[in-house]
Structures are given as C-alpha cells and as structure tokens.
Structure 1
Amino acid sequence: MKEMEEVNEIKAQLEAAKRLAEDNPEDEAAQEELHRLQREMKRARDRVAQESAENWHPPTENLRMTYLEWLEHANVTDDKLGPDNPHWYFRLIGCGKMGEHTEDGSCDKGSSEWLFDELTYFQPREGDERPFYMINPKKQQGIHCRFGMKGVIAENHFDLSRNAINVLYGQRRYILAHPNQCSNMNLLPRGHPSARHSAVDWSDPDLEAFPEFEKARVNEIVLQPGDVLYLPTNWFHYIISLELNFQCNTRSGGQNLYRKEVTDCGF
C-alpha cells in the first residue's frame, strides 16, 4: 500500500526529529520541524484510514441464536476446523447500568441482566461492598460473556478501559504487549472501522509490508478455568481459543496511563 509506505517514511523522519528536538530544546527550527512532521503524519494516517476503509469488509457476521444452536455449530472435530471453514462465536451481554437507568437493556438488544446474579463478583456495588475486580463501579460497562469455538481468534488491539477477564471453561491463549510496543503494532488508524486493531495478520505476518512488527516484544499466558486476568488500560491483547471455552469479563473505566505511547501512534 503506497499510503502505508508513506507513513513508514514519515515515521522514520519523525523519530529522528524527536531526538533532535529533545537534545536541542532551545532550537526553534528543530521544534518547528518536529511539529511539521507531526502534522504530516496525521494527514498521512488519515489517507491510510480512508483507503483501508474503502476496501474493508466486516470480519464477522452477527446472527441471533440460542446457546444450544451455537454449540451444535461450534462443538466439532478437528477435521472441521481450518481457515476455510466457518468459526462460531457466542456472546451474552448484561448492561448492569447504575443510577436511575438500571436494567434497561439499552446497551444491547435482549440483554441478559441475570448475568449479574450469576457473577456476583462483577456486580457494580459501591461503598464497603465494592467488589475486588470493579475498580470504578460508576464506570462499569456491563458483563460480556464470550463462548469460543476452538481456533477462534480475536485480533490484536487495545481498549480504553480496565478489564477483568475470568475464564470459566476451556483454555484461551492471550498474547499481551505493553503500550510502549504501539509503534511496532502497525495499527489501523483513527477513522478506520477497525481502528485500534493491528493491520498485521498475526497468524502469518508479512514482514516486508510491516517491518516494524519484527521488533515487537510480547508476553503470553494460557488462561485455565478459574483464572482471572487483569488487563490495564491501553494494553494490547491477541486471543486464541485453544479449545471449546467460555469467559466472562467486565470493564470499569479507564486510567490516564500510557497516553504518550498511544498518542504517538495516532490515538
């Protein structure tokens, strides 16, 4: 993609200009050049977003079905897996809004508020009864329960809020990266339908198109039933279902952490 090559070229110039400006804070020409390249980077990223969005197709199709219908599709033998076969992913959402608008289901059609009765440790209580995993109850964003077929992948991305993830059945592999790896993730830019997600196919990365990706440094963990993973604001995560599994997670507002790292990436 010509526009992405332009972004990478400006990025190299911008990194050099940042070093020069930091070493010479009184040099007005160096500061002016840095600001010029920052503006040029924003325009280049906007062009990438526009071109990518024009050729973009939704990676999934949303359907409504019961759990048993999903299980019939998802509980298959290994010979039914592979990139050319459909993968099935089931999700339940409980809104759990606090204050005067409670249990109205407005965050999702047909929301499942009973999840808050089943997963009491995710309830957004306040005061002395505030649960351990809910750091900011007023900012909680409901409970999302996700049932994964073996082989389902959630592409690498970051979220703007704290996240507590509880695996209840099966195994999920999480590949995690600190926000300081943002410049190596080749994120789709603001304005793109999949903004905040990596443009790299992590199953088969193209290092010629995305040379920075080779420098990325990550951690990984396989979550087992009963494990809870706390994911801070702006941390990257890429998820692979290793077998039939399900997890529930809740988010409770963000923190002003790692803003410089994600701002430098265009967010």
Structure 2
Amino acid sequence: MRRRNNNNGIVHLDDGGAAKSSVRRNRRRRKNMVEKVIFPIIIIAFVVFVIRHSSSIATQRQKARKIVNGFMREQRQDGTNDDDPNDYPTAEQYKYSEDHQHRWAKESILPPPSGQKDWAINFFVASRNKIKKSDFKLAYGKKMLEWEDESQNIQDRPPLVDYTKHSYAYPEIISEPPRGGSYPPMDTLGNLLKKWPQNNYDNPPDVIEEKLQHFDFNDAKQLEIAKLYRDLEFPFKLTNVPELITANAKWTDEYLSFHFDRKRKALRNVENTELNEKYGHIPPSDGHCQESIDSFFAFFTQRNWNIKTMGAPPTKDTDFTYARWAKHARYADSVRLPHTKKHYYWQSGAPAAERKIPKDQWTMISVDLPSFSDPEPNFISFNPKESKGIQCRMGERGVTAATHYDGGRNMVGMITGAKRYILAPPLECPKLGIVTEKKHPTFRHSLLNFDHINLLDKPESKTMPKSEREWLELAKDSKAVETVLKAGEILYIPSHWFHYITSLQKSAQCNVRSGREFNGSPEWGSSEDVLKCVGEA
C-alpha cells in the first residue's frame, strides 16, 4: 500500500484497485474465456453443420438423379427416342390407341371410380424434393424447330371456320329466371360430343344453337335481368362488352409481344425504340408458355408430381416468347393443325395487389380491362375484395383444358377469337373423374379427355385402360350445357360449376373472380355437393 498526496495536501491510501469488487475481475475473465474458447467452438459447430447440410442436399440430389435416370432407362428400353433431350418419356405416361390418334390416360394416375383415398395414399403421395425443375421445362433457345422451318414457306391464313363470324341461333330473353331445373336447358355430355365432336373444329353445325341467356351489356334493363341470373347462380352471357371490343382492336401480336417480351434479353432495350412511343410507357407484363404433346392440357401442381410413380408430367413449361407462341398459333390456324401434334398455351395475368397501387404503375392487362381491375365493385368484378386478380389464357386451335371447377364466381371475357365451353353443375361432380385427394397434383381437376367418349364403342378403344373406360361411361351421361364464347362476350360461370374448354382458333381470354358462393341453387347443387365429392378445398 502506497501513500499518495493530492493537490490539496490530503493524503489517500492507494491499494492498486485491490479494494474494488471482485465482480469486475470475474467478468473480464469470463469474457476472455468466451473469446479464447467458446467462440472457436461456435465457429467449428457452424462449419460442421454446413458440411453435413451440403452433404445431405448432395445425397438428396443424387437420389433424385437415380430415380429420374432409372425411370428414363425404363422408357428407353420401351422404345422411347432418346436423341432429343426435350422429348417426353412416352412408354408409361402416354399409351396410345393402335392408330396412334388417341392418347389414353395412364392407368395408374387416373383415380378409380371409388376408393380414391386409399389409391392416393398408396400410390400418389409425392416424395417432395426428389424432383428437378428441369424435368418440367423445355429449353429450345434459338433452335429452329421443324414447324418454324415449314412456316417460312406458308403464308398466314385465317382459320377455316372463323367462329367470331359463324351463324348462331339465340334464345329469347326470359326476364324472370325459370326455376325447377328448366334453365339452363341441359343435355348429356355424350350427346353434345356426338353432335359436335371435340376435335371437329373445321366442321361445326351449320347453325350453333345457343342455350344460355344472352344480355346486351349496353342495355340497362337487360343488365338488371342478368343480375337476377347472377344472384341465382345460373350461367349466362353478356354481349357487346365495350372494353373487350376496344381491347380486341389493340391486342395485336406486336402489341402483346411488346408488353410480354420486354423483359426478355432480346427486347431489353425496347424502351429506346419507337414501340415505346407507339404503345405507351407501361410497365412490362409477365407470361409463360406451356407445351403438351397433343391438344389436351391437364394442369397440375408441379411440386407434388412424382416422376418415379407418375411418369412424365402432362405439360412442360417452355422458353417461348409471346412472339414465338403467336407464330405457332398462326401456323396452327394456317395448316389446320391436327390434334395429335404438339400444342402450346400462353398464360399471363395481373395480380390482385396491382389494383392497390397507383394506376400509372398498372400493367397492360389491368389498364386495358378496367372493369376487371377496378378496386370498386361493378357488374363484372362485383366483389373485388375477394378477387385473386386477372388470369389470361391465350389459346391456339385445338387446345383443350381438362375439366375443373373454381370456387370463385367467374366472369370470363373473350378478347379475340373463340372458345367452346362445356359446363356441368356441381351435382354432376361424382361422374366427371375429378381427383379428390388433396395431395394429388391434379386435385380439383379431371384427367379425362372427353373426346374419347365417342370411341367407347369403336375398335380402336380396345387398348383403353379399364379405369378410363369406367369413368367415360359415367361421364357420358352427366348433364351439361355448351356455348361458344367469342370476342366481345363474357360468360358467367357460377361457383363450383365445372368447365371444359376447347380453343376453336387463335384466341385470347381473361377472367376475374368475385369470391366464393356457398349456397348455389337447389336445381344444380352447391359447394356442399362438390365438397362431398372432392373434399374441402
């Protein structure tokens, strides 16, 4: 202990800090220990975790490759052409009739008419993380495809039958919606397809008889009547819709390519071209193209599709630009493309969130379809708070979308071309081959190609799988009504009504939904009937 004087002459005893609390010394010791021992341990543990995690991922990928490679080997052994990496495996997923004109549904991926739960659990619970995204994509790049080479020598021609100008017979307007099941007038699915086969785009009836009510959108009285049908959950159509007519004039292939393809590398600098001045300073839109090996498109949830058990997926995403898709769609009309050839489907839309941002930031679809994107209720989007946005589908000749239902009340607007819609009410759910298991990638959809109904009594159907035949026998007797939706028209599809769609020519269609209606109608059923058939969505 030393003596220390301060400036005032007062003497203090200096013990060198020994009199201070020992707590501070202990704290410093613990801190040194953390720095010297614990911190390196944490670093080592983190490195070990990363190594093990990376090893686990590598193992999973290796297993996935073994699954896919094993499946591909099985396909090659069965005669699949392996020259082109973009070719689909065919042996398991795609069985054909003897004349190779009809592709049957794979026996194992079609649900049995009963016992779907056990079927799904035993066969279809997909092994997640055992697929590669590349298994669901086709990268064509700048490769010149056969049809592109051929199209260079073919002048674009209109479709043989332009359904926007065909002859139609319309029913008289009924101001008071008929009750008791007399509206809409129903037929059976089998009869509808017998009278006008699905793939007979070039030979329709001389006069197409429309059964649904048609109301002029510009007539206030007719619109009031249409509201009565809408409130009863009955399907109907609106004609002469001004914004669809306006969009029809604007939506040329050049215009749509400008909006859809601007994000692509080839058009990245389009802002500096005259097109920007021609079409306006509008944010670019998104879209993508899907390919099927024929005209039938069955949609699915990619993450649930197990290649090992289910084979090749029904469709694949391609790297087509809109311009390339449109070129094929024109080609399809020009050469009267058969349903057995590869077909392409362009999809796009505008998210529901877009209506919440300033309008000068809206993309082309929202701008051109103001009633579909309006944040305030109107006749077309009458419950915008429950809307999930605008969905758009550009179809080419023959593209057929498998039967499915939507929970939301659906307004479908045709901007260009025409499509054939076959509607079935909720009560018909048990007859349509709808996949009821949630874990299945095609839940709420059917994998049945109804064109095959006309083959049930023909020799070429002898190779048809048993389960497909059983379902088609049920489906042909289901109640249905059809309509041709053409440019300038809107079709109202009530909640939980099934729809089966064929594009009759190059076409563009957009739809918006206005929330789910659970009560339906006593005549045609409700959400309860569908949920009994399908399960809670």
Place the TM-score, normalised by the shorter chain, in its bin. Answer: 0.7 to 0.9
**Alpha carbons of 1:43 and 1:95: their partners in 2 closer, same or farther (altered >3 Å)?**
same
Give distance in 1, aligned partners of 2:390 and 2:350: 5
Task: Give the 5 Å matches for 1:106-185.
Answer: 113-126=363-376, 130-185=377-432
Q: Secondary structure at the match of 1:156?
A: strand
8 Å Cα contact 2:120-2:440 kept in structure 1: no
1:260 matched to 2:528? The reply is: yes
8 Å Cα contact 1:48-1:189 kept in structure 2: no
| Equivalent residue letter for 1:142 | G
The Cα shift of 1:225 comes to 1.0
Greater shift, 90-99 or 196-205, is seen at 90-99
* TM-score normalised according to structure 1 size: 0.73
Task: Give the 5 Å matches for 1:29-48.
Answer: 42-43=117-118, 46-47=121-122
Report the aligned-residue RMSD. Answer: 2.9
**Alpha carbons of 1:221 and 1:137: their partners in 2 closer, same or farther (altered >3 Å)?**
same
Give distance in 2, aligned partners of 1:49 and 1:243: 36
The Cα shift of 1:79 comes to 4.1
1:89 matched to 2:345? The reply is: yes
Q: Secondary structure at the match of 2:392?
A: strand
Which structure 2 segments of 5+ residues have no match? 1-106, 127-304, 457-467, 520-525
% identity of equivalent residues: 29
Task: Give the 5 Å matches for 1:9-20.
Answer: none
Alpha-carbon displacement from aligned partner over 1:62-110 (angstroms, at most 9, x marks no partner): 23443322111211146462243211111221113168x748xxxxxxx
Q: Which of 198, 204, 209 does residue 470 from structure 2 map onto?
A: 209
Give the number of aligned pairs. 225
Which structure 1 segments of 5+ residues have no match? 11-40, 104-111
| Equivalent residue letter for 1:217 | K
8 Å Cα contact 1:96-1:113 kept in structure 2: no
Q: Secondary structure at the match of 2:375?
A: coil
**Alpha carbons of 1:142 and 1:56: their partners in 2 closer, same or farther (altered >3 Å)?**
farther
Q: Secondary structure at the match of 1:204?
A: helix
Give distance in 1, aligned partners of 2:498 and 2:365: 27
The Cα shift of 1:208 comes to 3.2
Greater shift, 149-158 or 132-141, is seen at 132-141
Alignment match, 2:511 = 249
**Alpha carbons of 1:184 and 1:48: their partners in 2 closer, same or farther (altered >3 Å)?**
farther
The Cα shift of 1:115 comes to 1.4
Give distance in 2, aligned partners of 1:87 and 1:63: 11
Give distance in 1, aligned partners of 2:368 and 2:483: 26
8 Å Cα contact 1:159-1:235 kept in structure 2: yes
8 Å Cα contact 1:186-1:198 kept in structure 2: yes
Q: Secondary structure at the match of 1:219?
A: strand
| Equivalent residue letter for 1:244 | K
Give distance in 1, aligned partners of 2:445 and 2:311: 13
1:237 matched to 2:485? The reply is: no
Task: Give the 5 Å matches for 1:178-193.
Answer: 178-190=425-437, 191-193=439-441
Give distance in 2, aligned partners of 1:229 and 1:155: 18
Q: Which has the higher contact order (CA 8 A, sep 6+)?
A: 1
8 Å Cα contact 1:171-1:241 kept in structure 2: yes
Q: Secondary structure at the match of 2:326?
A: helix
The Cα shift of 1:172 comes to 0.5
Give distance in 1, aligned partners of 2:325 and 2:354: 31
Give distance in 2, aligned partners of 1:90 and 1:9: 35
Greater shift, 81-90 or 233-242, is seen at 81-90
Alpha-carbon displacement from aligned partner over 1:168-205 (angstroms, at most 9, x marks no partner): 11110000000000011111222211111123221113
Q: Which of 444, 450, 469 does residue 196 from structure 1 map onto?
A: 444
**Alpha carbons of 1:46 and 1:185: their partners in 2 closer, same or farther (altered >3 Å)?**
farther
**Alpha carbons of 1:80 and 1:61: their partners in 2 closer, same or farther (altered >3 Å)?**
farther
